[in-house]
Amino acid sequence: MNDELQDIVKGIKSYVELEKAMGFKESFFSRAEERKPGLLRATCLEDLCKEVSSCTECDLHATRKNVVFGAGNAKAKLVFIGEAPGHDEDIQGLPFVGKAGQLLTKIIEAMGMKRDDVYIANILKCRPPENRTPLPAEILACCDNVRRQIEFINPKMIVTLGKFASQTLLKTETPISALRGKFRSYNGIKVMPTFHPAYLLRNPDDKKLVWEDMKKVMKEL
């Protein structure tokens, strides 16, 4: 065991001893395992999907109709990440199936692909009531799911749709207008931030900017 690992083990041991001294019946580590048993065990996308389908880590589980884990090719080269499911997605249990989703499908087809060729997911897997912006506690509870999803799919490239997905995945507060169109990196994977299709429905003139971004993605792929 190297020195660093020995220090970590020592630290854990003294923490567990402190817990005992303070009268805790169980260790934090066993409680953590109890809270997220699936996340510690899932070794593939399918298992992760099963585990997330019964998630109760944040309050959104109480109001959701369905968990919207993600859909598409589990070995996709290209992954699209949005914000959170809306009304239609919550009902169908599938990402991007409402009006914004139909526009996303058109964008994917214009890129010469089908929805089944790519993988589509969201940062949050449950619908925030009234489609409000996700809360920090919800992001914290859910962001590990998208991280592991990306890890299992291991795509060549990710397109983040809109401000929320782009800023969350890239851990930045830079506005989407400044982020879009330029490649970034997420754990060694190229990321192209672009406008959200729902924004494009309200601002159709900006569709040409998204098309510029998608041309860069196609060139790289």
Site residues (vs ligand URA, CB under 6 A): 82-86, 89, 95-96, 98, 100-101, 122, 198
Question: Residue 36 or residue 186: which is nearer to ligand URA going by CB?
Answer: 186
Q: Considering the complex, what minimum distance in angstroms separates the CB of residue 99 from ligand URA?
A: 9
CA dihedral 194, 159, 138, 141 (to 10 degrees): -150
Residue closer to ligand URA by CB (options 202, 219) is 202
Q: How far apart are CA 95 and CA 85, in angstroms?
A: 6
Element (H, E) at 121: strand 119-122
Cβ at position 92, least distance to ligand URA in Å: 10
The per-residue b/e assignment along 154-185, b for 16 or more CB within 10 angstroms, e otherwise, is ebebbbbbbbbbbbbbbeeeeebeebbeeebe
- Residue 157 CB, nearest approach to ligand URA (Å): 18
Closest CA to 113 of 155, 144, 149: 155
Output 122 or 168, the one with its CB closest to ligand URA: 122
Nearer to ligand URA, 11 or 129 (CB): 129
State the minimum distance, in angstroms, from the CB of residue 202 to ligand URA. Answer: 13
